[in-house]
Amino acid sequence: MRVFLASIPLQDTSVVIVGEGDAAHAKARLFSGSAARLSWFAGPDVDDGEGRIGRWPEAADLAGARLVFIATGHADVRDRAIEAARAAGAQVNVVDQPGLSDFHTPALIDRDGVVVGVATGGVAPVLARDVRSAIEAVLPAGLDRLARLAEGLRQTVIDTLPDFTARRRFWETAFRGPARDLAVEGRDAEARRQMLRLLNVSQAGEGVVHLVGAGPGDPELLTLKALRALQDADVIVHDRLVPKAVLDRARRDARLIYVGKSRGDHSVPQDEIADLLIAEARQGHRVVRLKGGDPFVFGRGGEEAEALRAAGVSVVVVPGITAALGCAASAGIPLTHRGQSQAVTFVTATTRDEGVSPDWQALAAPNHTLAIYMGVSDAAEVQGRLIAGGRSASTPVAVVENGTRPEQRVLTGRLDELAELVREGEVQSPALLIVGETADWASASAAGVSVQEAAA
């Protein structure tokens, strides 16, 4: 985070503007009608009136100021005002000169009790305004009424629900239900009655576990439902494959519990993970079990759902973009393509000791794409089994390491080179092995040509 947006109460606060012209007018409009005491010094060329003072400020004029905005082309006036403002303990903003400023003015969406700011550190104000416009379009104009209603009920809610988690859940329900709609429509009395009815029946309630797919790593590939679950969670139990960029989308005060596993290193056994989820839910928590990819595609989500339901714990499954889809797309590889692949199979190269091994002969069928999970350590066996099953040694292959992430690598070759690719490339998990004619698309994509051109 390069900038931090602070919320400054304006009640009984002194704001001073120094300058003339459009920039000074814009700052004056910003605070017009606010709770702040506004003083605008526009210089000796301007007559007093219309909120302006026809002189430059003296040091005494800045005593007690909290914020000082300077928008003048007179360098001597600017420098004196900066010095006097800082001597008075004020924070200074020099318009269009971020290097001279203590703070920068964000692009603001003002809904009275609800103010949204978008900041770029003063380096791209037009971009900030464009982002503000996009946000403003989805916010109802009456949002401030909801904030005022919440302010009036705040102490009542605290007295009724002393438990912090119960209070947060009450407000989440209130702000997303009928009371919200009534408030923004201006039906304040009805909205208040609806909130009080909700408060009378509110309680901590039973916990729930969301099995959430985090996708292959790029946080922008999170589904909206997954993002909402992360932002509502009390506890997040996450895997090794979930990157920090995804965890950063969670609510800041959520408790994070790491239970990552890798081959030969199970930091927390699977049965203990299930016990942990059950225990947290029984304490009334909303738990997110966050898994790389999709929880039901080689993520053992089915085992966890089975254990939770057997214990009487509510389970919600939130699917995610699985590694095969994300990695293939990121590497430019279609998993099916007319004339090259009429089918795709997701398969894991790792099986439980008592599990059934894949049918390698069936998997070796031509015109068929294989997306092989957890195959890095078994690349030599995968290569040998597929060739022995009848797949041509010249079949294209691609190895996608850290797919969709900034550090993504894509290695390409032939099936009879697969083990060598993994070994010499020092490939590390997470990585996906793609076997089939469409794997050639990775080489063509990297070269910026079509597959037909690459084959010519």
> Looking at residues 387-392, what average pLDDT do you find?
95
For residue 454, what pLDDT is reported? 45
Read off the pLDDT of each residue in 132-149 and give the average, rounded to a whole number.
Answer: 79
Q: Are 297 and 215 in contact (CB under 8 A)?
A: no
Indicate the pLDDT class of residue 121, thresholds 50, 70 and 90. confident
- Give me the pLDDT at residue 443, please: 73
386 found inside a domain: yes
- Is residue 3, in this structure, part of any structural domain at all? no
CA pair distance 25, 31, nearest whole angstrom? 10
Establish if 272 belongs to a structural domain. Answer: yes
**372/298 same-domain check:** no
Average pLDDT estimate for 126-151: 82
Whether residue 290 is found in the same domain as residue 336:
no
pLDDT at 164: 81
Q: 56, 52, 59: which is closest to 85 by C-alpha?
A: 59
**pLDDT for the residue 354:** 61
Residue 35 φ then ψ, to 5°: -80, -5
Same domain, 275 and 212: yes
pTM value surpassing 0.75: no
pLDDT at res. 405: 94
Pairing between strand 396-401 and 409-414? Answer: antiparallel
Angle, helices 164-176 vs 143-160, to 10°: value is: 150
- Check whether 144 has a pLDDT greater than 50: yes
**pLDDT score for 325:** 96
- In this prediction, residue 450 has a pLDDT band, given cuts at 50, 70 and 90, of very low
Q: Specify the pLDDT at position 406.
A: 93
Confidence at residue 456, expressed as pLDDT on a 0 to 100 scale: 46
Residue 178 inside a domain? The answer is: yes
Element holding 442 (H helix, E strand):
helix 440-447
40 pLDDT higher than 60: yes
Of the listed ranges 265-269, 384-388, 444-448, the least confidently predicted one is 444-448
Domain presence at residue 431: yes
- Can you give the pLDDT at residue 320? 96
Domain end call among 280, 302, 321? 321
Give the tens place of pLDDT for each residue, 330-339.
Answer: 999 999 999 8
Q: What is the 3-state secondary structure (H, E, C) of 40-63?
A: EECCCCCCCECCEECCCCCHHHHC
pLDDT in tens, 92-114: 999 888 889 998 888 888 776 67
Which CATH number covers residue 386? 3.30.950.10
Say whether both 295 and 384 belong to one domain.
no
- The DSSP result for 132-193, as a single string, is HHHHHTTS-TTHHHHHHHHHHHHHHHHHH--SHHHHHHHHHHHHHSHHHHHHHTT-HHHHHH
Residue 11 CB burial class (10 angstroms; 0-12, 13-18, ≥19): exposed
**Same domain for 297 and 349?**
no
Considering its fold, how many domains does the chain have in total? 4
As a whole number of angstroms, the distance between CA 413 and CA 444 comes to 12
pLDDT-wise least confident of 156-160, 292-296, 370-374, 389-393: 156-160
275 and 328 assigned to the same domain: no
**Active-site position among 110, 144, 232, 261:** 261
* 178-204 burial code (b ≥16 CB/10 A, e <16): ebbbbbbeebbeebbebbeebbeebee
Can you tell me the distance from the alpha carbon of 246 to that of 241, in angstroms, rounded to the nearest whole number? 10
Beta bridge partners of 38: 15
- Asked if the structure places residue 299 within a domain, the reply is yes
Task: Check pLDDT > 60 for residue 345.
Answer: yes
**Taking the CB of residue 438, how many other CB atoms lie within 10 A of it?**
24
Helix, strand or coil for residue 107? strand
**Closest Cα to residue 169, out of 201, 204, 208?**
204
CATH of the domain at 226: 3.40.1010.10
Instruction: Judge if 90 and 196 occupy the same domain.
Output: no
* Token duo for residue 206: 């039973």
Q: Are residues 180 and 230 in the same domain?
A: no
We report the CATH number of the domain holding residue 45 as 3.40.50.720
All residues at 6 or more sequence positions from 292 whose CB lies less than 8 Å from its CB, including other chains? 213, 214, 215, 216, 217, 239, 240, 241, 242, 299, 323, 430
Domain boundary among 297, 321, 345: 321
Residue range of the domain that includes 69: 14-105
pLDDT at 35 over 50: yes
In the predicted model, is pLDDT for residue 455 greater than 60? no
pLDDT in the model for residue 451 = 45
Task: Name the band, by pLDDT with cuts 50, 70 and 90, for residue 300.
Answer: very high
Q: Is 137 exposed, middle or buried (0-12, 13-18, 19+ CB in 10 A)?
A: exposed
Residues 421, 356 share a domain: yes
- Averaged pLDDT, 267-290: 89
Task: Indicate if the pLDDT at residue 186 is higher than 80.
Answer: yes
Whether 113 maps to a domain, the answer reads no
Look at the chain and count its residues: 456
Angle among Cα 425, 427, 429 to the nearest 5 degrees reads 175
pLDDT band at 46 (very low <50, low <70, confident <90, very high): confident
**Whether the predicted pLDDT of 223 surpasses 70:** yes
pLDDT band at 293 (very low <50, low <70, confident <90, very high): very high
The confidence score (pLDDT) of residue 206 equals: 64
Show the DSSP H helices in 214-355 as ranges: 224-232, 244-247, 270-282, 301-310, 323-330
Quick check: is 122 in a domain?
Answer: no
Is the domain of 160 the same as that of 266?
Answer: no
310 and 189 in a common domain:
no
Looking at residue 203, its pLDDT comes to: 53
The percentage of the chain sitting over the pLDDT mark of 90, rounded to a whole number, equals 54
* Known catalytic membership, residue 45: no
- Condensed to tens digits (0 to 9), the pLDDT of residues 309-343 reads 999 998 999 999 999 999 999 999 999 999 899 99
Same domain, 450 and 408: yes
**CA nearest 234: which of 217, 210, 214?**
210
291 catalytic? Reply is: no
Per-residue confidence band for 268, with pLDDT thresholds at 50, 70 and 90: confident
Of 321, 351, 379, the last residue of a domain is 321
User: Choosing from 61, 218, 239, 378, which is the catalytic residue?
Assistant: 239
> Tokens 């029984």 label which residue?
282
Confidence of residue 71 (pLDDT cuts 50, 70, 90): very high
